[in-house]
């Protein structure tokens, strides 16, 4: 909350300053809400879970990358796939449970819901050629959360949802029998809807913003197997910028004025993943990955017609370790764990950012046959209490308190080779 926003609240918001037909106080109110919708967990609204086989092993898959979901994890891996392969699946968040406890002991819980994140992958490797091609449709970012209207921080956050879908064609080249490279463009479409209490002297007043737009980027990867038991993989996803075009509404209207179109800019981070896989024999695959997201590139939230809002996010790592045990007749079991660092500073914390260091455990099972394959995975995401004391010149002090997050997920995938 800027000094101007504080002044407007204290004077009853009688001085309306218009920017492209919308009161400046409205846009100043949108800033914390927009922040909320775009960094809802320590994963930075990342959805790193893109395939049941990989999820079962805690997404430690960059150096294995041997099914069509490699398009996301490490597209160089698609050179390991013969003929044509198609795979569909989905991750289901079985409720994102966020808890808040105020300094005075008041407890608030968000309203949990089931949230799907579907995927579709296709790969094609022509015979007698060192090239492979693929197309992926997936959600690398996304979130939805809703707090009750009675939450003490109502003017900072009530509800936020984000969808971000990527269409990702790729091409891979097997440079040598043990070395593959890949690159491809990403076409990204995103929608945002955000709601919070409005900083105006009208009981029950609410502010809502919704917007959408396209952005573009690229991803690439490398896969190297220097020894039959060892393989190394790395992938890169470029940063992208969304210039959300949309509208803002203020309720009730009347007596509050109707509002018009506006826009907001947000930068999504570049991501680097590296991993090492060890196969002591044909029955075991053990892999360790390090995943880095450059959230430090997000320093400000830019809303057209309003001064930038300071965010000051921090780069964060995920450390992943996973194991797959092959059983009889194509069946397998998977087990994994990864740790995710928080990425937002205490002083700019907002209630839809249930952001804390997270511990994630997963297990799964499935089948890989000559034609058909399937997998299921269960994952538990949880963190310890995080004690927050915000900068009162930037965020409403009602945000102060303790926050905790718990999320179970269930995933499935189904593949066919022809």
Contact between 170 and 183 (Cβ < 8 Å):
yes
Q: Is a pLDDT exceeding 80 seen at residue 257? A: no
C-alpha 260/C-alpha 249 separation (Å) is 7
Q: What is the DSSP letter of 371?
A: S
Supply angle C-alpha 140, 144, 150, rounded to 5: 160
C-alpha 150, offset from chain centre = 27
Percent of the chain with pLDDT over 90: 58
Q: Tally Cβ neighbours within 10 Å of residue 124.
A: 16
Cα torsion angle, 251, 144, 270, 69, sign: negative
- The pLDDT score that the predictor gives to residue 254 is 84
Is 0.95 surpassed by the pTM of this model? Answer: no
C-alpha 124/C-alpha 86 separation (Å) is 9
C-alpha R_g of the chain: 23
Percent of the chain with pLDDT over 70: 87
Q: What is the mean pLDDT of residues 86-95?
A: 94
Which whole-number Å values give the CA distances from 105 to 109, 177, 188, in the listed order?
13, 62, 43
Nearest one of 340, 337, 220 to 291, comparing CA atoms: 340
Six-digit token string for 387 = 């004690």
Contact between 145 and 179 (Cβ < 8 Å):
no
Q: Answer whether the bond into residue 252 is a cis peptide, omega within 30°.
A: yes
List of residues 6+ apart from 250 with CB closer than 8 A: 23, 26, 198, 200, 205, 206, 207, 208, 256, 257, 258, 259
- The pLDDT score that the predictor gives to residue 44 is 58
C-alpha 32/C-alpha 34 separation (Å) is 5
- The pLDDT score that the predictor gives to residue 393 is 83
C-alpha 190/C-alpha 122 separation (Å) is 22
C-alpha 86/C-alpha 88 separation (Å) is 7
Task: Label residue 12 exposed, middle or buried (CB < 10 Å: 0-12, 13-18, 19+).
Answer: exposed
Q: Is a pLDDT exceeding 80 seen at residue 279? A: yes
Residue 333, classed as helix, strand or coil, is strand
pLDDT band at 27 (very low <50, low <70, confident <90, very high): very low
Q: Is a pLDDT exceeding 80 seen at residue 179? A: yes
- The pLDDT score that the predictor gives to residue 261 is 86
Q: What is the mean pLDDT of residues 202-217?
A: 89
**Helix-strand-coil percent breakdown of the chain, rounded to 5?**
10, 55, 35
Q: Is a pLDDT exceeding 60 seen at residue 10? A: no
Contact between 184 and 169 (Cβ < 8 Å):
yes
- The pLDDT score that the predictor gives to residue 305 is 55
H/E stretch holding 33: helix 24-38
- The pLDDT score that the predictor gives to residue 29 is 40
How confident is the model over 327-359, as pLDDT tens digits?
999 999 999 999 999 888 888 887 776 778 999
Nearest one of 132, 129, 121, 125 to 83, comparing CA atoms: 125
Q: Is a pLDDT exceeding 60 seen at residue 164? A: yes
C-alpha 58/C-alpha 95 separation (Å) is 19
Task: Label residue 114 exposed, middle or buried (CB < 10 Å: 0-12, 13-18, 19+).
Answer: exposed
- The pLDDT score that the predictor gives to residue 304 is 61
- The pLDDT score that the predictor gives to residue 373 is 98
How confident is the model over 115-157, as pLDDT tens digits?
899 999 999 999 999 999 999 999 999 888 888 888 888 877 7
C-alpha 108/C-alpha 157 separation (Å) is 13
Q: What is the mean pLDDT of residues 190-201?
A: 83
Contact between 320 and 288 (Cβ < 8 Å):
yes
Selected residue with higher pLDDT from 314 and 201: 314
- Residues 396, 397, 401, 406: what is their CA dihedral angle, to the nearest 10 degrees? 0
Place of tokens 């009162």: 392
Nearest one of 321, 295, 286, 293 to 236, comparing CA atoms: 293
C-alpha 261/C-alpha 183 separation (Å) is 37
């Amino acid at each position: 909350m800027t000094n101007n926003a504080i002044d407007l609240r204290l004077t009853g918001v009688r001085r309306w300053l218009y920017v492209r037909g919308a009161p400046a106080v409205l846009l100043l109110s949108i800033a914390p809400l927009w922040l909320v919708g775009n960094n809802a967990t320590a994963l930075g609204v990342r959805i790193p879970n893109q395939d049941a086989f990989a999820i079962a092993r805690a997404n430690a898959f960059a150096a294995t990358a041997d099914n069509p979901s490699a398009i996301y994890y490490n597209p160089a891996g698609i050179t390991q796939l013969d003929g044509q392969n198609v795979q569909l699946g989905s991750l289901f968040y079985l409720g994102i449970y966020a808890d808040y406890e105020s300094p005075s002991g008041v407890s608030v819980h968000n309203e949990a819901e089931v949230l799907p994140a579907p995927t579709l992958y296709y790969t094609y490797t022509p015979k007698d050629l060192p090239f492979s091609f693929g197309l992926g449709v997936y959600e690398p970012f996304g979130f939805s959360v809703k707090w009750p209207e009675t939450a003490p921080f109502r003017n900072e956050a009530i509800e936020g949802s984000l969808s971000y879908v990527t269409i990702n064609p790729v091409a891979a080249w097997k440079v040598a029998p043990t070395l593959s490279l890949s690159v491809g463009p990403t076409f990204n479409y995103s929608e945002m809807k955000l709601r919070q209490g409005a900083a105006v002297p009208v009981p029950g007043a609410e502010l809502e913003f919704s917007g959408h737009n396209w952005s573009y980027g690229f991803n690439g990867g490398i896969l190297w197997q220097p020894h039959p038991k060892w393989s190394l993989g790395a992938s890169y996803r470029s940063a992208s910028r969304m210039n959300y075009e949309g509208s803002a509404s203020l309720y009730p209207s009347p007596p509050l004025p109707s509002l018009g179109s506006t826009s907001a800019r947000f930068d999504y981070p570049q991501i680097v993943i590296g991993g090492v896989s060890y196969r002591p024999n044909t029955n075991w695959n053990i892999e360790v990955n390090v995943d880095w997201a450059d959230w430090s590139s997000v320093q400000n939230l830019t809303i057209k017609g309003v001064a930038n809002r300071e965010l000051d996010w921090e780069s964060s790592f995920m450390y992943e370790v996973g194991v797959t045990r092959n059983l009889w007749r194509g069946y397998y079991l998977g087990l994994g764990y990864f740790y995710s660092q928080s990425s937002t500073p205490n002083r700019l914390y907002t209630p839809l950012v249930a952001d804390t260091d997270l511990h994630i455990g997963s297990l799964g099972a499935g089948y890989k046959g000559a034609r058909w394959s399937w997998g299921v995975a269960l994952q538990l995401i949880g963190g310890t209490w995080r004690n927050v004391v915000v900068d009162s010149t930037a965020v409403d002090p009602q945000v102060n308190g303790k926050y905790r997050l718990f999320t179970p997920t269930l995933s499935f995938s189904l593949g066919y080779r022809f």
